[in-house]
């Protein structure tokens, strides 16, 4: 009898779970890349600090709020795309 390790067999369910995990990772990465293409991580931190300290002008504050709302919409679109594999991911337009 050959030495076959049956514990290493990958089932169809395991393969599907791996594919779903890879799809989720790809969608999250695409979402993150889209957000960072509009405003870098350090830019987001600097804007948050300036907004918290009240150093933004009224126009800049409105732009900052629009950015925060857009990031939330991006995350919601990403989560919806992850939950529904049939839906085409459509990112909201950048502010």
Contact assessment for residue 49 and residue 68, using Cβ atoms and an 8 Å cutoff = no
**pLDDT tens, position by position, 52-73:** 999 999 999 999 999 999 999 9
Percentage of the chain exceeding pLDDT 70: 95
R_g over Cα of the chain: 21
Position 88 confidence tier, pLDDT thresholds 50, 70, 90: low
Taking alpha carbons only, the member of 45, 50, 35, 53 closest to residue 93 is 35
Contact assessment for residue 23 and residue 78, using Cβ atoms and an 8 Å cutoff = no
Contact assessment for residue 7 and residue 62, using Cβ atoms and an 8 Å cutoff = no
Rounded distance, CA 42 to CA 59, Å?
20
Q: Domain-by-domain residue ranges, the chain? A: 19-83
């Amino acid at each position: 009898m050959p030495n076959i390790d049956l514990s290493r067999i990958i089932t169809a369910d395991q393969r599907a779970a791996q594919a779903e995990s890879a799809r989720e990772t790809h969608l999250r990465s695409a979402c993150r890349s889209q957000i960072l293409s509009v405003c870098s991580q350090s830019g987001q931190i600097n804007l948050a600090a300036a907004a918290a300290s009240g150093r933004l002008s009224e126009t800049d504050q409105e732009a900052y709020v629009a950015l925060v709302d857009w990031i939330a919409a991006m995350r919601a679109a990403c989560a919806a795309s992850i939950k529904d594999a049939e839906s085409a991911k459509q990112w909201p337009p950048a502010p």
